[in-house]
Amino acid sequence: MNLISLRTPAKTLFTILAVVVFSIVSSFDLQAQEDGEKLFKSYCASCHSAGNNALVGPGLAGVYDKYEREWLYSWIKNSQALIASGDEQAVAVYEQYNKVLMPNQPVNNEQIDAILTYIKEYNEAAPAAEVASTDAAEVVEEGEAETSPYFIAAIVIALLMVVVILRKVQHLMKVVEARIKEEDIPEELTLGQAIGRTIQSNKTIFALMGIVVLCLFAKSGWDAAFGIGVYEGYEPEQPIKFSHELHAGTNGIDCNYCHNSASYSKSAGIPSANLCMNCHTYIQEGPQYGKEEISKIYAALDFDPVTKTYGPNQKPIKWVKVHNLPDHAYFNHSQHVTVGKIACQTCHGPVETYTVGKQYAPLTMGWCINCHRETKVQMDGNGYYDEIHERLPESLKKQYLEDGTITVSELGGIECAKCHY
Amino acid sequence: MNYKKNILNLVSALVLGSIVFVACGDSQSPGVEYMPDMYRSPAMEVYVDYEFPDSATSRKAPENSIPIGYRPYPYTNDLEGFELAGKDLRNPLQLTERTIKEGKKLYESFCAHCHGKKGLGKGSIQNAIYGAVPSYMDETPNRRGNRSMRDLKEGHIYQAIMYGLNAMGPHSSLIREQDRWKIVAYVQTLQGKDPIAMQQDKDAVKKDTAEESIESETN
């Protein structure tokens, strides 16, 4: 940026030279950095971050200035010997990080230098990247504005005012007309009288309109009555803004990882907070809400993200239940997931695109029955029915086996007592 | 005039009714419930608020109670326990092609997003913290106990699933015991080993040593 402002030719020449020299030097540096990055990832990254945040071990930003190079060499190659020798710095680090031993790393001094160069470069580049990411987050935040009820009320009031004014004007015109014709000045009608007169003079039209309006009301009432107890589209706000889009979509975590009881229990299960901590012990900042939402897990577990210890004041997270089946209908996840091999998305929709969990299917009886009528049972590789089918009388064979497919309903999947007992 | 009044009443009732129903289209509310006494279970259902002081439906079991099928795990969560598990702990399942296949499916649900479908450490997690998961084929001896990923024995792998290791969290509460062992067997195939053959060899060795020890005792 400043290059343009330098005017004198000598200065320009100097800057060009400087840029050339710098780029040559930094290209060497870049080479070292690339190797360093590779080495860092294969030897260090499963326990250390290159930044400031502590994972299993401390974040490595600043180690190149904090410790002597020679000390770092011997620590990285054999930290246990260094601790045993009673080296003060070594013992201090060991004590500070919960006495977790660092395994000896089979690297030489040049490789350690390359790793340290990479860490240094990483930290110099990091602040710029951070600024860019927060900018992106702000853009995402903007939502659509809904039409507020106050706005509608204002429009209604304005229309009423127009009606009142127009009626006044009409009355005035009549008064003027009467004056000109020198007749009696007519009385001003009330609004009710005016409406009454209009209806009386257009009886058929108003009767028809009345019938149409009645029908519309009746239909909306009928539809609404069908919606009683159907919670399709229920999308309540949860105590933590957990996004399935981020976890199951972007990061590709399998549904079963968190909802692991779906394959062997009636309920699919809301993961307990200890499962969140499998990753969020170390991932303390999310791409959308930063630390705000993740810190709610920590609050529930009374977890200190710096020392990584749990306190005694733990309280459950009050998730809002979305799918509420009535007590008189029995549903079992394991039957459908493990035995039926039905994909989660069949009933729950494209969950990996939801930012807020919602009820996708109506969960009505008609919806259940439809699926039981259409779904074919996988008979391949399942010897269970072979003999029964063999022994069936001809009439039943004709009825059930002739088309080559057996649906759930043909195996009794729409009997009342399968779900209501 | 009574007739007119009736119509007026009917219309106003319909208007009021439809306003009430329309108000239920709110995504924050589940909507109208038909006969709550048939909807709400008197027996405990999961994730329903039964107004316990802490509002948790899943109550803690009484102290000292043991889950059905529980088996104690004697290895401690430190280097010593890790080494001991590697030395003594053996897969109790009789391994077949089928268990390995089941292990693969479980691996894809519980492990693949970090360790990658082929176990090369290239999972689908985007976060940089989980960007350097080691490959099971890695032969650099820089893991716990100065072992390489490829050297890890079945006991080591099982211990890692039980307690977690480094940035990996403990998975004992997610995965049941049998399933853990199926995953262990599949991970061994990703290390380039053949767990079925290894188990058969070990069984043969075990028989031999057992016979030898009996012989030495009788001598």
Which residues of chain A register pLDDT less than 50? 1-6, 131-144
- Cβ within 8 Å, pair B127-A283: yes
In CATH terms, A21-131 corresponds, of 2.40.30.130, 1.10.760.10, 3.30.1360.40, 1.10.940.10, to 1.10.760.10
Whether A330 and chain B come into contact, CB under 8 Å, resolves to: no
Reading the block at residue A150, the tokens are 């106050």
CATH numeric code, B79-200: 1.10.760.10
Whether A237 and chain B come into contact, CB under 8 Å, resolves to: yes
Contacts of B138 in chain A (CB under 8 A): 42
Give the closest residue to A328 by CA, choosing from B42, B46, B30. Answer: B42
Predicted local confidence at residue A33, as pLDDT: 60
Contact B8, A302 (CB under 8 A): no
**Cα separation of B12 and B24, whole Å?**
19
Predicted local confidence at residue A135, as pLDDT: 45
**Cα separation of A297 and B169, whole Å?**
16
Predicted local confidence at residue A352, as pLDDT: 92
Q: Å from B211 to nearest chain A CA?
A: 39
Contact A106, B141 (CB under 8 A): yes
H or E element in which residue A116 lies = helix A109-141
Tens-digit pLDDT profile for residues B139-197:
777 777 788 888 898 999 999 999 998 888 999 988 999 999 999 999 999 999 898 88
**Alpha carbon of residue B83 to chain centroid:** 24
Contacts of A218 in chain B (CB under 8 A): 14
Question: How many other β-carbons are positioned within 10 Å of the β-carbon of residue A257?
Answer: 20
Whether B94 and chain A come into contact, CB under 8 Å, resolves to: no
The residues in A 47-76 lying below 8 A from B, measured between CB atoms, are 47, 49, 55-56
- Cβ within 8 Å, pair A251-B113: yes
What is the longest distance spanned by two Cα atoms in chain B?
119
Q: Å from A341 to nearest chain B CA?
A: 13
Q: Where in chain A is the domain with CATH 1.10.760.10?
A: 21-131
**Cα separation of B50 and A26, whole Å?**
65
B5 beta partners: none
**Cα separation of A259 and A345, whole Å?**
13
Predicted local confidence at residue B163, as pLDDT: 92
Length of chain A: 421
- The angle at the Cα of A201, spanning A197 to A203, to the nearest 5 degrees, equals 110
Predicted local confidence at residue B184, as pLDDT: 94
**Cα separation of A226 and A366, whole Å?**
12
Give the closest residue to A84 by CA, choosing from A60, A67, A101. Answer: A101
| A407 SS3 class | strand
Predicted local confidence at residue A300, as pLDDT: 92
Of A41, A236, A251, the CB nearest to B124: A251
Mean pLDDT for B84-101 is 91
Whether B38 and chain A come into contact, CB under 8 Å, resolves to: yes
Whether B169 and chain A come into contact, CB under 8 Å, resolves to: yes
Q: How far is CA A113 from CA A36, A70, A120, B6, B124, in A?
A: 8, 11, 11, 93, 31
**DSSP per residue over A334-364, as a string?**
HIIIIIS---HHHHH-SGGG-SS----S---
Mean pLDDT for B86-114 is 92
- Cβ within 8 Å, pair B14-A47: no
**Cα separation of B185 and B204, whole Å?**
19
Global pTM value: 0.70
A304 beta partners: A309
Whether B98 and chain A come into contact, CB under 8 Å, resolves to: no
Name the residue of chain B whose CA is nearest to A247's CA: B125
Predicted local confidence at residue A8, as pLDDT: 54
Tens-digit pLDDT profile for residues A123-146:
887 665 554 444 444 444 444 456
Residue with the two structure tokens 């280097």: B79
**Cα separation of A288 and A299, whole Å?**
19
Whether B73 and chain A come into contact, CB under 8 Å, resolves to: no
**Cα separation of A151 and A149, whole Å?**
5
**Cα separation of A60 and A49, whole Å?**
6
Of B45, B174, B176, the CB nearest to A275: B174
- Cβ within 8 Å, pair B129-A327: no
Give the closest residue to A67 by CA, choosing from A126, A125, A119. Answer: A119
Give the closest residue to A268 by CA, choosing from A319, A330, A331. Answer: A331
Sign of CA dihedral A229, A235, A237, A239: positive
Does the pLDDT at position B32 exceed 70? yes
Sign of CA dihedral A47, A48, A54, A58: positive
Whether A317 and chain B come into contact, CB under 8 Å, resolves to: no
Whether A235 and chain B come into contact, CB under 8 Å, resolves to: yes
Question: How many other β-carbons are positioned within 10 Å of the β-carbon of residue A246?
Answer: 16
Predicted local confidence at residue B139, as pLDDT: 79
Sign of CA dihedral A255, A256, A257, A261: positive
Of B54, B124, B146, the CB nearest to A252: B124
Percent above pLDDT 90 for chain B: 26
Of A45, A279, A315, the CB nearest to B169: A279
A345-370 burial: b if 16+ Cβ within 10 Å, else e:
eebbeebbebeebbbbeebeeeebee
Name the residue of chain A whose CA is nearest to B33's CA: A229
Does the pLDDT at position B28 exceed 60? yes
